A = this chain, B = another copy of it.
Amino acid sequence: MRSDPDRLQFQIAARDGAARTGRLQLAHGAVETPAFIPLATRGSVRSLAASEVAGLGYELVLGNTFHLMLSPGPQRVAALGGLHRFMGWERPIITDSGGFQVFTLAHGRVADEIKGRRGRQPGRGTVLEIGEQGVRFRSYLDGSEQFLGPEESMAVQAALGADIALAFDECTPYHADRDYTARSMERTHRWLDRCLAWHDRQGPRRQAVFGIVQGGVHEDLRRAAAERVSAAAVDGVAIGGTLGRDKEEMRGVIGMTAPHLDGAAPRHLLGIGEPDDLVDGIALGVDLFDCAVPTRLARHGMALAPLPATRFRFDIRRAEFAADERPLVEGCPCPACAAHSRAYVHFLSRAEELTGVRLLVLHNLTYLERLVRGAREAIQRERFGDYRQAVLNGTPPWQGAALTPSGP
């Protein structure tokens, strides 16, 4: 780890077991942790203006290096004053490295693997070559040849002006064997060194860099990666790669990784953010989470809810909600639940009206913001174990947060 207060300061205010709550100070402001990070993949959080994302209580969003490098392009964004100014967002931004997206082009998604669709190529995007230097691929927008390696990724993230840049890594697929995963991890470590070298020479002075821990589901690899990345001159660590086949294996991977990380540095679990994953990750010492779930579910008519039996969600388009006058979730403080019925959101979602998607985005993002806020408060009061159990049992986050302090 390096320590440069101009880039990043992380103060842990309270701990409860492995869980911790604190404050991450970045170039564009502070982020209370544990935090959920909404995706602003292509410069916007689905259907929301930046001011609305802030209005929901979020302090950090994640921009996507792969998509933004293809359009509008790093030079364009830089010329317009950087990603913050481009999207009208004044708070901190983290950008991913683009590694996940280019390797997804090559390897297919985990969901595709499980469903036997390995090798499907989305759109016109295709990987041409993976080598020590990086990845050659075709743009899904115009078929043009593109190259992304450690230096290129850092250069894009520098042009975007992110508060936190992620080092370029290979996200190994679940179907990769131990040998491939180990060799890939070693290359990811060499890439980390190149990222840090590039950043030292020409990265933005106030930009923090997180290294990424790979190693698949293998305990020895995860431990080696955690120690190797923690020993590098990074400002924080992200846990990436395949996290296993199911949630139990995912908890196992986090549990075999976190103890070997520098306890004083912030930890980001990449691409994870369902309600149970959040409380489980926080229990294992994770500080930051990003995930497409709240916005992607909204597009498919799904609302987050305190329903452990159905993965904390329900499909508002189901016929049973056509005349249901209750809000999406009783007691939810979001703008959709405050003013509208399930019947209305049901109708709008079935009719594919944009207002329906938007109401579900507002609901789902409010739900996760309340969930991590409740976690922070519970950790402060040393009641996180109860809070986690309440959430897992189906207590709404805003009720879980109101758990009374334990008596003497």
Point out residues on A near B: beta carbons under 8 Å: 42-51, 71-72, 76, 79-81, 86-88, 322-323, 325, 335-336, 339-341, 343-344, 347-348, 350-351, 353-359
Contact = CB atoms under 8 A, between A and B. Distances in A.
Nearest to A67: B351
7 contacts: A44-B355, A49-B336, A49-B359, A79-B323, A80-B323, A80-B341, A86-B347
Contacts of A86: 341, 343-344, 347
Given A344-B86, A347-B43, A322 B355 contact: no
Nearest to A361: B354
Copies in the complex: 2
Contact of A47 (B42, B343, B358): B358
Contacts of A355: 44-49
Given A42-B351, A44-B354, A72-B322, 18 more contacts: A42-B347, A42-B348, A43-B347, A43-B348, A44-B355, A46-B355, A48-B355, A49-B336, A49-B355, A71-B350, A71-B351, A76-B322, A76-B323, A81-B325, A86-B341, A88-B344, A354-B357, A358-B358
Contact of A44 (B43, B48, B350, B353): B353
Contact of A353 (B46, B80, B335, B353): B46
A47 B80 contact: no
A64 to B, nearest CB: 11
B43 A325 contact: no
Nearest to A40: B355
A344 B40 CA distance: 13
Which of A48, A322, A353, A359: most chain B Cβ within 10 A?
Answer: A353
Contacts of A351: 42-43, 71
A88 B340 CA distance: 6
Contacts of A344: 43, 86-88
A356 B42 CA distance: 11
A80 B325 contact: yes
A335 B55 CA distance: 14
A340 B49 contact: yes
Contacts of A79: 323
A85 to B, nearest CB: 8
A49 B361 CA distance: 13
A392 to B, nearest CB: 32
A49 B339 contact: yes
Contacts of A46: 353-355
A42 B354 CA distance: 11
Contacts of A354: 44, 46-47, 354, 357-358
A323 B351 CA distance: 36
A354 B347 CA distance: 19
Interface centre among A80, A86, A354, A357 (most CB of B within 10 A): A354
A76 B46 CA distance: 30
A353 B42 contact: yes
A88 B338 CA distance: 10
A340 B49 CA distance: 9
A347 B72 contact: yes
Given A76-B322, A76-B323, A323-B76, A43 B343 contact: no
A88 B348 CA distance: 13
Nearest to A339: B88
